[in-house]
Amino acid sequence: MSNHHDALIYAMVLTAAADQDMTDAEMRTIGEIINFLPVFKDFDSNRLPTVARACAELLTRDDGLDKALGEIKRTLPSPLRETAYALACDVAASNGIASQETLRLLELLRDGLNIDQLAAAAIERGSRVRYAVLNGR
């Protein structure tokens, strides 16, 4: 992981992979985030598969999750830590229902990035309302 873009992508990929099933909705959300948000304006989107693959490979190690979370924290500047958590929450919310594994990953990420409890609750609520649907539509 070499820069803040990679760290933000790792946070999203970790969230998508938490339940061992990266869905189309999660992958589409990651792509949309990278193409839309200003924090990624200078990111070469052709690098996304390489960064995502590196994250997936790291997760195959015994201590991969701990290493990934540590690298995210080490690489991200403080002002982008809440951003990383928000992006992870958006990926989790994109499926409609978050699995227990996904919720646990979000908890680890929140704690690892030292996200204040009140800020975390606001971020989680924002993701929940952005991805709300009416009667499954």
Q: What is the 3-state secondary structure (H, E, C) of the chain?
A: CCCHHHHHHHHHHHHHHCCCCCCHHHHHHHHHHHHHCHHHCCCCHHHHHHHHHHHHHHHCCCCHHHHHHHHHHHHCCHHHHHHHHHHHHHHHHCCCCCCHHHHHHHHHHHHHCCCCHHHHHHHHHHHHHHCCCCCCC
In tens, the pLDDT along 104-117 reads 999 999 999 999 99
In tens, the pLDDT along 43-85 reads 999 999 999 999 999 999 999 999 999 999 999 999 999 999 9
Residue count (the chain): 137
Sequence spans of domains, the chain: 4-130
pTM: 0.93
Q: Does domain 4-130 have CATH number 1.10.3680?
A: yes
